[in-house]
Amino acid sequence: MREPQPTTIHLKDYAPPAFLIERVALDVDLRDADALVKARLEIRRNPASTEPRAPLALDGDELQLAAVALDGVLLRANRYSLNAERLVIPDVPAAFTLQTVSRIVPQNNTRLEGLYASASGFVTQCEAEGFRRITWFIDRPDVMARYRTTVHADKARYPVLLSNGNLSASGDEPGGRHFATFEDPFPKPSYLFALVAAKLEVLEDTFISRSGGQKQLAVYVEPGRLGQAHWAMDCLKRAMRWDKQRFGLELDLDHYKIVAVGDFNSGAMENKGLNIFNAKFVLARPELATDHDFLAIDRVVAHEYCHNWTGNRVTCRDWFQLSLKEGLTVFRDQEYGADSYSRGVARIQEVRLLRAGQFPEDAGPMAHPVRPQSYMEIRNFYTLTVYEKGAEVVRMQHTLLGEEKFQAGMRLYFQRHDGQAVTCDDFVQAMQDASGVDLAQLKRWYDIAGTPVLDCSGDYAAGRFTLRVRQSMEPPFHIPLAVRVGHHETVLPVTQREQAYVFEGLEEKPVPSLLRGFSAPVILNYPYTETELVHLLAHDDDPFSRWEAGQRLASDIVLRQDGEPSPAFLLAVQRLLQDGDPAFIAEALALPSESFLAEQLEVVDPDRLHAAR
């Protein structure tokens, strides 16, 4: 028997939902062998829909429907159609209330999507399409609703009950059970729903916002691990402070909660006001964790917190726009790391990740654009291209606009789209409108796969240096090329297949510093001599350019396999050791990896390469 072929979903086929859900009242009763889920949905037809007479179609997956009622009237089986994936009700009014009662078995949910049992209790993972495994719903990101959630469970086994938003009621129930009700005041898509029922310990703290409001913060951990939660709490408060200072964005909830459990399947998830982490990404013991571990926790806590605005308050219209929230939030957490620690080192580490993972992805059989045009399974597109290259597309806009105009674009983006589900084009349009800079050509980065190659050359005569640039992409991309030539420092807008740029008033032949700060995710070729690379390593004021020059010199020495650096190279390294940033010195002295070096060879002898390195 042949397995059914998965359906291919195309971006070009997007249509607005036929219905919108305004409010959700969810009641989840966790029992010994299953869970009973009652949902009350306030629904209205979407005036933007292209199908004004469409029936109501709700998504479901492994749900056992017990009852369904429309405006309080129980529906008979002949009034709706039901299969394993859809509940369809024809002839519904323009606005109505729908109630469903369903049975689920989270104890047997081995797919770990929706609500499932963990070692310490119950947790949820709803991105991208897990909410349909909890209740019948229009489970797509452009349907945003306000939620009231009530959870019931055994008090001794599951003393902590959590969901999105602020706690509005709680208490004991007969039979040793208890309940908690949470109100989330902000509309959100279903993938941001979260529920936790578990035996946990809590670290609590407060944060006074710049506007004077007091925020209640909590980090929940499995019993015996409370001492490992203090760093995560410190990281959360730093991220909150930074987001207000740098982006003007403040926490919009009275309560913000982090849950860390050892068997959470998705690493980290930005559910509105209730982030859930795998414990290894958020807990640390000073006597066992490395500096890298602490820095990684800082970044991932910041990333999930930054999603509160870029992803939660403004979300993606459809899953093709995944990079709208992930690329932008990766850029924001990168900037948090750069502002908090060493900007140069942070950038070098980002470039390492791109070259080691995303560039090969772009060059291989699984290459895809930042915004794919089709998919069969959206989970396959949580990739380095969508996240890291997507962040580079945002960074290029920041480079072209500058900090002031970029922040103006961010403010306009939120003014226009707060509480909406939008597209990558909407983000670029806000940047363009706020700055007056034409970004139409830059949008090709979203829709065309591949890593551009810039082949550069330079000529010097009579005080003039001409830099010639040829790019590989057709149609041409808009590539911001940050350069310094002599005393000239600028960002060149590379927008054609071939361009030439002239720098005048030079007293001697310059050594051009190209792609400063790795201003675009490209491969740049320039015929530097060894003397020029040594000059850049010793004297350039851009950390990436210095590191890049050192990597090229070290690669040449290793690939020659004679292991003998030149005296000039040794003098440059000696000057490098005088740098005031120890973290940068460590990065600059690290040799290129064997895998990177192997890519430079037509025939690889692993033993000889290892010995030479």
pLDDT given at position 21: 99
The predicted model gives 417-432 an average pLDDT of 99
Q: What is the 3-state secondary structure (H, E, C) of 566-609?
A: CHHHHHHHHHHCCCCCHHHHHHHHCCCCHHHHHHCCCCCCHHHH
* Residues 375-401 pLDDT 10s: 999 999 999 999 999 999 999 999 999
pLDDT band at 4 (very low <50, low <70, confident <90, very high): low
pLDDT at 1 over 80: no
The predicted model gives 180-185 an average pLDDT of 98
Residue 482 has phi, psi (to 5 degrees) of: -80, 130
pLDDT at 561 over 50: yes
* Residues 7-63 pLDDT 10s: 999 999 999 999 999 999 999 999 999 999 999 999 999 999 999 999 999 999 999
pLDDT given at position 557: 85
The predicted model gives 501-519 an average pLDDT of 98
Domain coordinates of the chain in residue numbers?
A: 19-199, 203-290, 315-447, 452-527, 530-613
Token readout for 448 is 């065309």
For residue 179, how far is the Cα from the chain centroid? 34
Is the preceding omega at residue 185 within 30 degrees of 0, hence cis?
Answer: no
The predicted model gives 548-574 an average pLDDT of 86
pLDDT at 590 over 60: yes
State the chain's mean pLDDT as an integer: 96
pLDDT given at position 22: 99
What is the fold, at CATH topology level, of the domain defined by 452-527? Answer: Immunoglobulin-like (2.60.40)
Question: Catalytic positions, please?
Answer: 304
- Per cent of the chain over pLDDT 90 is 90
- The dotted CATH code for 203-290 is 3.30.2010.30
The Cα–Cα gap between 549 and 557 comes to 13
Helix (H) or strand (E) holding 343: helix 343-353
pLDDT given at position 562: 63
Which bin fits 515, alpha (ψ -120 to 50), beta or left (φ > 0)?
Answer: left
Q: Which CATH architecture has domain 19-199?
A: Sandwich (2.60)
Q: Give the residue ranges of DSSP H helices in 402-443.
A: 403-417, 424-435
* Residues 435-457 pLDDT 10s: 999 999 999 999 999 999 999 99
Helix (H) or strand (E) holding 418: none
pLDDT given at position 563: 64
Give strand pairing partners of 315. 421
pLDDT band at 2 (very low <50, low <70, confident <90, very high): low
The Cα–Cα gap between 191 and 325 comes to 13
Class assignment of domain 315-447?
mainly alpha
Higher per-residue confidence, 286 vs 393: 393
Do 19-199 and 452-527 show the same overall fold? Answer: yes
Considering the entire predicted model, what is its pTM? 0.97
* Residues 61-78 pLDDT 10s: 999 999 999 999 999 999
The predicted model gives 561-588 an average pLDDT of 87
The predicted model gives 401-410 an average pLDDT of 99
Q: Which of 588, 583, 531, 579 minimizes the C-alpha distance to 554?
A: 588
